[in-house]
Chain A
Amino acid sequence: MRVSILFIVALPWFAIAQPTAIPDGPLDLLYTYCFDCHDETTTEAGLNLDVLEIDWGDAHAREHWTDIYTRIVREKMPPKDKDQPTPEERQQLLAWLDKELMAHSPVGGVPMRRLNRREYRNSLKSVFPIIGFELPPGFPADNESHGFDTVSDALVISASHLEAYRETATDVADYLFPQPRVLPATQKVEVGVDDISISYSSGAKIDGAMRLASSGIMVRNAVWLSKFEAPVSGTYRVTMDLSAMNPPPSETPVLHLEANALSGKKTTRTLGAFEVASAQPEGVAVDVELYRGETLVFTYKNAPLNYGNKETYYEFIHTLLSGEPALAAAWQRLDDQAKAIGATRGVPRGGGGWIRLKEERAKQPDAVLPIKKLEALVKKIAGNSVSSGETIVYKYFEEGPNIGIHGVTVEGPFELVDDPTTIAQSKAKQRFIGDFINDEVVDLEGFFNTYLAKLFRRPATWSEVQAYVAIVRKEQAAGYTMEDGLHLAVRTSLLSSSFLYKESGSETVLSAYELASRLSYFLTSGPPDYPLLSQARVGAIAEPTVLVAEVKRLLKAHNKTFATDFTSLWLDVHLLDTIVPDSKLLSNYNKSYRQSLKDEVVLTFQEILKKNQPVSQFIDPDFLYTNPTVGWELYELKQHSAVKLIRPNRRKQEKLTRHEIPRGTRHGGLLGMPAVMLATANGVDTQPVLRGVWMLENIIGRPPPAPPNSVPALSPDLTGATTLKERLAAHMADKSCASCHEDIDPIGFVFENFDAVGRWRTEYPPSVGGAEPLPVDATGVLPEGTKLNDVSDLKRWLVEHPEHFANCLAEKLMIYGTGRELNYREKKMLKEIVSENLTSELGFADLLGALVQSEIFLKR
């Protein structure tokens, strides 16, 4: 029965504010200096300043006038070719705007935030004891705003999200409360040789038998039943008819029977080993346990031929060809003939190659190669081990030693057995409900009290617990089991707004539990842990000492998560996943190469945070993390006096190591770091404008406004004498372009010494037309006028004026942590915090602590 609930909604104070008239002084100035372009009739850039009053209660109006403030204070407006206000007049206008913006900008006010994909995944992982839990690949990704996936405005929810949540919830519930398994009827499957799979040259069907003649990895040396899969995990009886052909005198052939998922998992389980001595087929029967989806795999475990092992294979070929000179000579002749007609290979890969070898051998049965030629041939054949092995194995299929499989029978299942999945499932279930629901007790209230508190990141209310208990009871009353009821309760709870959303409520200050959540998702990308919730429960969490201690504790445990998740968004490192560098720039780029570039960013961030170093260490540090490959190829540290690197070795997994370096050079720090240079280019060529915008937004903290829609992108044309710089000079000619590009381009050019993968260059690559390579001109100018010769000048300037980068970093951290853009007043508060940090010569960890204690973080 439904009861309508009436409630009165109190409107927030800023929504009922009335528009205020613009005072006469500022109005006169706007009239004198702005209305020429921005009045009712000439609304240049869509901007009409010809208004008499401003509704400061309207957030959009405040954003709008903050933007105008910024342009006036940076002296971007009025444009240079128009009448300029006197410094006093400019100051008067700014003072008025400052007063109004400060008076009307509330601190805080993020709309309730949905968990993003990362947070949702980590939350499920923390609540449900499911090992290896991952979201399906098609799970909806999140929009970004201000470069982060934590911003409320962009975290919309749609039916597609709900559908994805519902599917995930069903998967989780199915895992914990699976449907009972049913033993199907026992079947007897007789498998003929035609229903055994060959992979590459792993086997051959000859005279009604599947013959095995090589040992080594499964995909190239094993055969398996192609049409049999265990329908359930259970016991089965396997009967095999086996024979051995020409076994080596020293060793009886051993057949390994293994189990492997038919759908291709690579880890096999050995079910049995059988000596095969008889030349005539003999039956062997064995009882085995097979897991659902597994098939039977057969391999000749001790076959003398193993072409996956380079050393023994060389010996093998050497012995073979020395003992059979006619075969060696035939191989040589085929290679020679191929060379003569320009073919790459004289002996084709596989059985066709063996046929050709035999035919050729028959032509000259007495031929012998000179010893030198023989040695060279052996070396060549052994070098192409896989290719020649796939051919030579046919000799052994025909002549032996080999094992023949003449037929296989599988009967079962006789009874069900547990498999790793079902065992893990019952363990997970035990951990999930075992304390409350077991053979002795059924304490649904206790269970939901605990479960919902974990899921909702706050204590569950009495009525919430009752509602979930009722779900289970109702399902039981309808004739279903309690497990069905719990299954349904789990599915329901995972669609709850209390789980999916953070930070909701009317109070401007976060509740203790909300603060615990905000802090936890900020620093760990996951829900608050038990100690954090305990601090929230006793109400101590907002106390500065507790907060600082908790930050320290969480970072200690989750340092890498924070460093990875924050930097991948702040520095756009996540873009590396979608950029494929031109193979001309990096021929050996692959997943692990990419990972080492990402790791460098994370290790650098971690070091500065852990050691509480000043934030200028991000710009010009005295250390560098790299590995031999990146160090040699991208940093070109071969001759670097301070860095000793071993020569890269492609076969070895390389680790990043820390190196002390002198400050003030191009090496070290975020500027020029390969991950950053790659992320700000496209993998092929550099785009100074993009790097300029990126630097202003993410390092200098002076983001240019969004570009107009009508401008075509400039693409670098390096042919002929027109330099990119000359082409971009066109920007400056157009005054509407110039107002932003005079800030952007000169900074972007400073990075032209770094190519699209971050390798240092002093000239552009020679153009296709064969023109002389053009020198790189990396000079630039900062928005406030300082001239720069190259990137080291920029680094020096940023270190000498640390407030720019520190403010920028602090603002990024706050956007990431609170899920909202900071308003005028909050940015001013932030500057004070940063300034205190810099003047007291404190470190990055101190800054993080101060930020978390600030009103900006403590309020919604």
Chain B
Amino acid sequence: MNVLNQATSRRRFLRATGISMALPALESVRGEVASLSSRVATQAVAPEAPAKRLFCVGANLGFYRPAFYPKEVGRDYAMSEHLQHLAQHRDDFTVFSGLDHRAGNGHGNWDNFLCGPKVGSISLDQVAAEKIAPFTRIPSFQLCAGGIPSIQKMSYNRQGVPLPMIERPSVIYKQLFSSADDRRRTDYLLRSGGSVLDTVLDEASRLQKTASATDRSKLDEYFTSVREMEQRMERQRRHLQKPQKKVDYQLPPYDPISPTLMLEAEGILYDLVALAFQTDATRVATMFLAGLGQVFTIDGETLRAGYHGLSHHGNDPEMIRDLIRVEAEHLKHLDRFLSQLKTKTDAEERPLLDTTIVLYGTGMGDANRHANDDLPTLVAGGGFEHGQHVATDRKGTLAHRMGDLYLTLLHQLGLQDETAFAGADRPMSI
């Protein structure tokens, strides 16, 4: 007897015993989940939303602003030193200056990058993931290039829990395209686990016999949850049985997790995010670009100071020159990634970039001083009218905050019900 039939027989059994266990449509099950934490996926996102995916990249040490920002504002700006690496995508991104969260400075506050003024408020990516997750196998990915830091965090869930980051390409790859052995094991765990749910349901229905009215509703909640979990397990099994999507991608034989290999890891992680989007394994991802003492070798030359040391350049021109060289590597990676999103297509044969928002920024305005104001930020793709430099005068009374931009991104993702992001409620026009 296969699991599916067993499930059907149990359903019949439960009905026969008069346990009120309607088999809810998927949406109403989600409604139940919603009561868990105040608002989770109560409704689907608008299907016609211009953007379907969100990818947020955050650099721990930020970017040297004079190299990042163009001098001119508007459409006719001349490419800055950093942005010229993205010249071929000029019409596919917008650069923002003058935005921040109006929060305090310091190491700890880097973490508010995606949260708004308060570290630990639900982060932008997780707001999006709550609504988008039901469409994909993996709700969201949190990646880290260059060694997971002990203090810095980037993604926070609604309960304020920082989500762990993955630094190993092999682990991510395994989640996307598992090996035959892993698939066998997962299949065994799902199959055997599903086959014994009868045992716990029997126990619970014995409880049901003597239950009071209020207990009965608690038990109904339990039965429904077991049921839904069983359905999820079946979905996972069906996914396992489907032939794996073939991708032409070869990981290196080692995991580049040593801090010095950060730039290599960064490139691989970008590749994997593009693959994850292409195969629709997930639609929400974040990537943290670490910034510790790693000493980089660029174009065969080993720099003579660590990345972190360079960021404390003390306005020394040579240190700044080397810092810009490191940052340029980040931008070259971004350039290659955007190109990948243009050539890879979604199920409707459209380029991924058309429907993918790439938020590229940092919680650090000036690493030299540990200042968290005026955060260099760039948004690419996602169906926006791009091609300009939007400058915000922070001193203006109605100056936009970073949260206003985040709100705009959420709306583009079809989350029209969001009226504010961490207190910012004036969407920006891009």
Q: Which residues of A contact B (CB under 8 A)?
A: 2, 4-7, 9, 11-12, 15, 109, 111-112, 114, 136-138, 140-141, 143, 152, 156-163, 166, 170, 179, 194, 197-201, 204-205, 219-220, 224, 226-229, 262-264, 295, 338, 342-345, 348-356, 387, 390, 394, 464, 467-468, 471, 475, 484, 488, 491-492, 495-498, 500-501, 504-506, 577-578, 580, 582-583
Measured between beta carbons, the chain B residues less than 8 angstroms from A199 are 259-260, 292-295, 306
Report the separation of the CA atoms of residues A348 and B314 in the bound assembly, to the nearest whole angstrom.
Answer: 8
Report the separation of the CA atoms of residues A353 and B163 in the bound assembly, to the nearest whole angstrom.
Answer: 39
Known contacts A143-B37, A506-B210, A580-B119; is A492 also within 8 Å of B200 by CB?
A: yes
Closest 10 CB pairs of A and B: A351-B304, A350-B305, A226-B258, A200-B293, A159-B228, A344-B314, A111-B214, A345-B314, A227-B254, A141-B159
Report the separation of the CA atoms of residues A448 and B221 in the bound assembly, to the nearest whole angstrom.
Answer: 28
Is B359 an interface position by the 8 A CB rule? Answer: no
* A162 with B293: CB separation less than 8 A: no
* B225 with A158: CB separation less than 8 A: yes
Among B70-78, B84-92, B185-193, B401-409, the stretch in contact with A: B185-193
Q: Quote the shortest CB–CB distance from A838 to chain B (angstroms).
A: 34
Report the separation of the CA atoms of residues A109 and B189 in the bound assembly, to the nearest whole angstrom.
Answer: 39
* B36 with A158: CB separation less than 8 A: yes
* A349 with B319: CB separation less than 8 A: yes
Q: Quote the shortest CB–CB distance from A528 to chain B (angstroms).
A: 19
Known contacts A143-B36, A143-B37; is A496 also within 8 Å of B200 by CB?
A: yes
Report the separation of the CA atoms of residues A140 and B295 in the bound assembly, to the nearest whole angstrom.
Answer: 39
* B305 with A352: CB separation less than 8 A: yes
Q: Mark B29-71, 1 if CB is under 8 A from A, else 0.
A: 1001101110000000000000000000000000000000000
Is B16 an interface position by the 8 A CB rule? Answer: yes
Measured between beta carbons, the chain B residues less than 8 angstroms from A200 are 293, 295, 306, 308-309
Taking a contact as CB atoms closer than 8 A, the residue among A11, A157, A348, A355 that contacts B319 in the complex is A348
Known contacts A166-B193, A199-B294, A492-B200; is A352 also within 8 Å of B318 by CB?
A: yes
- Among residues 148 to 166 in chain B, which have CB atoms less than 8 Å away from a CB atom of chain A? 148, 157, 159-164
Pairs A–B under 8 Å by Cβ, sample size 26: A5-B209, A112-B211, A137-B162, A157-B222, A158-B35, A159-B225, A159-B229, A198-B260, A224-B258, A227-B256, A229-B255, A348-B316, A349-B305, A350-B310, A351-B303, A390-B309, A467-B199, A467-B202, A491-B196, A492-B199, A495-B200, A496-B204, A497-B207, A498-B207, A506-B212, A583-B104
Q: Which residue of A lies closest to B13 (CB)?
A: A2
Measured between beta carbons, the chain A residues less than 8 angstroms from B250 are none
**Extra A-B contacts (16), CB below 8 Å, given A141-B161, A351-B305, A468-B199:** A7-B209, A12-B212, A112-B211, A112-B215, A137-B161, A158-B32, A158-B228, A166-B229, A199-B295, A342-B315, A350-B309, A484-B192, A491-B192, A495-B197, A497-B204, A504-B211
Q: Quote the shortest CB–CB distance from A564 to chain B (angstroms).
A: 19
Report the separation of the CA atoms of residues A199 and B200 in the bound assembly, to the nearest whole angstrom.
Answer: 53
Q: Which residue of B lies closest to A227 (CB)?
A: B254
Is B390 an interface position by the 8 A CB rule? Answer: no
* A506 with B211: CB separation less than 8 A: yes
Report the separation of the CA atoms of residues A492 and B162 in the bound assembly, to the nearest whole angstrom.
Answer: 30
Q: Quote the shortest CB–CB distance from A294 to chain B (angstroms).
A: 13
Taking a contact as CB atoms closer than 8 A, the residue among A219, A264, A496 that contacts B148 in the complex is A264
Measured between beta carbons, the chain B residues less than 8 angstroms from A12 are 212-213
Measured between beta carbons, the chain B residues less than 8 angstroms from A138 are 157, 161, 163-164
Q: Quote the shortest CB–CB distance from B305 to chain A (angstroms).
A: 3
Measured between beta carbons, the chain B residues less than 8 angstroms from A11 are 213
Q: Quote the shortest CB–CB distance from B104 to chain A (angstroms).
A: 6
Q: Quote the shortest CB–CB distance from A661 to chain B (angstroms).
A: 34
* B309 with A349: CB separation less than 8 A: yes
Number of A-B contacts (CB under 8 A): 245
Is B361 an interface position by the 8 A CB rule? Answer: no
Known contacts A15-B213, A583-B106; is A475 also within 8 Å of B192 by CB?
A: yes
Q: Which residue of A lies closest to B35 (CB)?
A: A156
- Among residues 208 to 249 in chain B, which have CB atoms less than 8 Å away from a CB atom of chain A? 209-219, 221-222, 224-226, 228-229, 232
* A496 with B203: CB separation less than 8 A: yes
Report the separation of the CA atoms of residues A166 and B200 in the bound assembly, to the nearest whole angstrom.
Answer: 12
Report the separation of the CA atoms of residues A411 and B312 in the bound assembly, to the nearest whole angstrom.
Answer: 41
Q: Which residue of B lies closest to A161 (CB)?
A: B225
Measured between beta carbons, the chain B residues less than 8 angstroms from A505 are 210-211, 215
Report the separation of the CA atoms of residues A338 and B106 in the bound assembly, to the nearest whole angstrom.
Answer: 26
Is B179 an interface position by the 8 A CB rule? Answer: no
Measured between beta carbons, the chain B residues less than 8 angstroms from A4 are 13, 16-17
Q: Mark B388-412, 1 if CB is under 8 A from A, else 0.
A: 0000000000000000000000000
Q: Which residues of B contact A (CB under 8 A)?
A: 9-10, 12-13, 16-18, 29, 32-33, 35-37, 104, 106, 108-109, 118-120, 147-148, 157, 159-164, 167-168, 185, 189, 192-193, 196-197, 199-200, 202-205, 207, 209-219, 221-222, 224-226, 228-229, 232, 252, 254-261, 292-295, 297, 302-306, 308-310, 312-316, 318-319, 322
Report the separation of the CA atoms of residues A271 and B316 in the bound assembly, to the nearest whole angstrom.
Answer: 42
Known contacts A197-B260, A227-B258, A492-B196; is A111 also within 8 Å of B215 by CB?
A: yes
Q: Quote the shortest CB–CB distance from A393 to chain B (angstroms).
A: 11
Measured between beta carbons, the chain B residues less than 8 angstroms from A262 are 255, 257-258
* A205 with B306: CB separation less than 8 A: no
Q: Quote the shortest CB–CB distance from A361 to chain B (angstroms).
A: 17
Report the separation of the CA atoms of residues A161 and B226 in the bound assembly, to the nearest whole angstrom.
Answer: 10
Q: Quote the shortest CB–CB distance from B191 to chain A (angstroms).
A: 10
Q: Quote the shortest CB–CB distance from A548 to chain B (angstroms).
A: 30
* A464 with B203: CB separation less than 8 A: yes
Report the separation of the CA atoms of residues A264 and B163 in the bound assembly, to the nearest whole angstrom.
Answer: 19
* A160 with B203: CB separation less than 8 A: no
Q: Quote the shortest CB–CB distance from B86 to chain A (angstroms).
A: 28
Q: Quote the shortest CB–CB distance from B163 to chain A (angstroms).
A: 6
* A497 with B219: CB separation less than 8 A: yes
Measured between beta carbons, the chain B residues less than 8 angstroms from A495 are 197, 200, 226
Measured between beta carbons, the chain B residues less than 8 angstroms from A475 are 192
Known contacts A343-B314, A352-B319, A580-B104; is A497 also within 8 Å of B258 by CB?
A: no
* B209 with A580: CB separation less than 8 A: no
Measured between beta carbons, the chain A residues less than 8 angstroms from B159 are 140-141
Most buried by A among B258, B295, B308: B258
Report the separation of the CA atoms of residues A412 and B106 in the bound assembly, to the nearest whole angstrom.
Answer: 46
Taking a contact as CB atoms closer than 8 A, the residue among A156, A348, A471, A580 that contacts B318 in the complex is A348
* B36 with A263: CB separation less than 8 A: no
Measured between beta carbons, the chain B residues less than 8 angstroms from A7 are 17, 209
Measured between beta carbons, the chain A residues less than 8 angstroms from B295 are 198-201
Measured between beta carbons, the chain B residues less than 8 angstroms from A163 are 229, 232
Report the separation of the CA atoms of residues A714 and B99 in the bound assembly, to the nearest whole angstrom.
Answer: 27
Report the separation of the CA atoms of residues A356 and B318 in the bound assembly, to the nearest whole angstrom.
Answer: 10
Report the separation of the CA atoms of residues A158 and B162 in the bound assembly, to the nearest whole angstrom.
Answer: 22
Measured between beta carbons, the chain B residues less than 8 angstroms from A227 are 252, 254, 256, 258, 261
Q: Which residue of A lies closest to B106 (CB)?
A: A583
Taking a contact as CB atoms closer than 8 A, the residue among B147, B232, B303, B304 that contacts A159 in the complex is B232
Report the separation of the CA atoms of residues A580 and B119 in the bound assembly, to the nearest whole angstrom.
Answer: 8
Q: Quote the shortest CB–CB distance from B389 to chain A (angstroms).
A: 29
Measured between beta carbons, the chain A residues less than 8 angstroms from B215 are 111-112, 504-505
* A205 with B226: CB separation less than 8 A: no
Q: Quote the shortest CB–CB distance from A178 to chain B (angstroms).
A: 12
Report the separation of the CA atoms of residues A7 and B118 in the bound assembly, to the nearest whole angstrom.
Answer: 54
Report the separation of the CA atoms of residues A580 and B108 in the bound assembly, to the nearest whole angstrom.
Answer: 10
* B17 with A5: CB separation less than 8 A: yes
Report the separation of the CA atoms of residues A229 and B161 in the bound assembly, to the nearest whole angstrom.
Answer: 30
Most buried by A among B17, B168, B222, B313: B222
Report the separation of the CA atoms of residues A597 and B398 in the bound assembly, to the nearest whole angstrom.
Answer: 39
Q: Quote the shortest CB–CB distance from B126 to chain A (angstroms).
A: 11
Q: Which residue of A lies closest to B253 (CB)?
A: A227
Q: Which residue of B lies closest to A579 (CB)?
A: B118
Taking a contact as CB atoms closer than 8 A, the residue among A156, A343, A497 that contacts B316 in the complex is A343
* A578 with B120: CB separation less than 8 A: yes
* A197 with B258: CB separation less than 8 A: yes
Taking a contact as CB atoms closer than 8 A, the residue among B196, B213, B306 that contacts A350 in the complex is B306
